[in-house]
Amino acid sequence: MWRTATKPSSAPQSSMRCSTRWRCGIREDYEAVKERLYDTSELEAERIQLQDEMNIVAEMIQQCVNENARIALDQTEYQKKYDGLADRFDRIKERLEAVGSAITERVEKREKTERFLAELENREGPLTEFCEEDWYSLVEYAPVYSREDIRFTFKKGMEIKA
């Protein structure tokens, strides 16, 4: 059964920003887990390592080309060496782009969650009626498979079959 949060009858006014106990609980729960959910420090470190590695490989490619221009090399060997370096560069670049996307995604999710919590904290009283803004901030998509099978997938990944 779907229930909205209800305001406790004896809820103390602890602050203007967090005026009811249930809102304080939501904020406290979020604060407790946000660093684990949205931490990008490992990804940032990997991005720096990948950028450094990509620069080294780019330099190796340039040295390979310069050597081929200066010295008469076996072109089969040269092409094999060049292709290996180019493939390595492309793999690093692909991983660097994936890491960058992952960082961006985490930052965007954090900002979106922060905006939602700020809106929630600024509301008067508990959520007691449908609000389109709340709906769009919570639900990712709702595929309809049949008249009897409608599923709501929330932005945090939870799915409910209606």
Please state whether beta strands 139-141 and 149-154 pair in parallel, antiparallel, or not at all (unpaired).
antiparallel
Distance CA 10, CA 143 (A): 41
The yes-or-no verdict on residue 4 having pLDDT over 90 is no
Supply the pLDDT for residue 24: 63
pLDDT digits (tens, 9 = 90+) for 32-83: 788 888 899 999 999 999 999 999 999 999 999 999 999 988 999 999 999 9
87-90-94 Cα angle (round to 5): 140
The model carries a pTM of 0.62
pLDDT digits (tens, 9 = 90+) for 140-159: 888 898 888 888 887 777 78
